[in-house]
Structure 1
Amino acid sequence: MKAIGLIETRGLTAAIEALDSMAKAANIRLVDLKKVGSGLVTVIVEGDVSDVTAAVEVGKEAHLRTGGELVSYNVIARPHSEIAKIL
């Protein structure tokens, strides 16, 4: 695992729109889509650092097309191997 990207939105539709745009913009792989509660949904992707960074940048803007709310986002380059156990 070279990098992990996370985008958290309020609303499933916004999360799916972000994921679709991310997958079209860069060579990434979906790790998980977690429904956290209270309408929060987290999309977790992995790939090369540059691809994940580009995908997260695109995903940050994509949620706007649905009227959803971007809550948080992050890119973790070269995560510790123990992170994979959490995901």
Structure 2
Amino acid sequence: MNNIDKRNRLDEEVFSYRVSKNNSLFINFKGKEIKIVKGKEAERLLSKIHAAETDKEIQLVLAKITGNFKHGNEKNSKKKA
């Protein structure tokens, strides 16, 4: 786990989720909804979340399902030389 989150971003618990009545999973990043997962994919994701032993592992599962949140160059994308 230490090699995956070198900058300790997942310690901040930036991801959150909620489950609807029909088992759709709504994933938020810093309070903003960024992804909705439904059906069998939501069931697999929920089983991974319930199997996680720590909050940091839950954050990692949510980060992986949402896409590219690990590059670290997001702030520099608009910077010009």
TM-score tier (shorter): under 0.3
Structure number with greater Rg is 2
TM-score (norm 2): 0.28
Higher relative contact order (CA closer than 8 Å, sequence separation 6+): 1
Larger relative strand fraction: 1
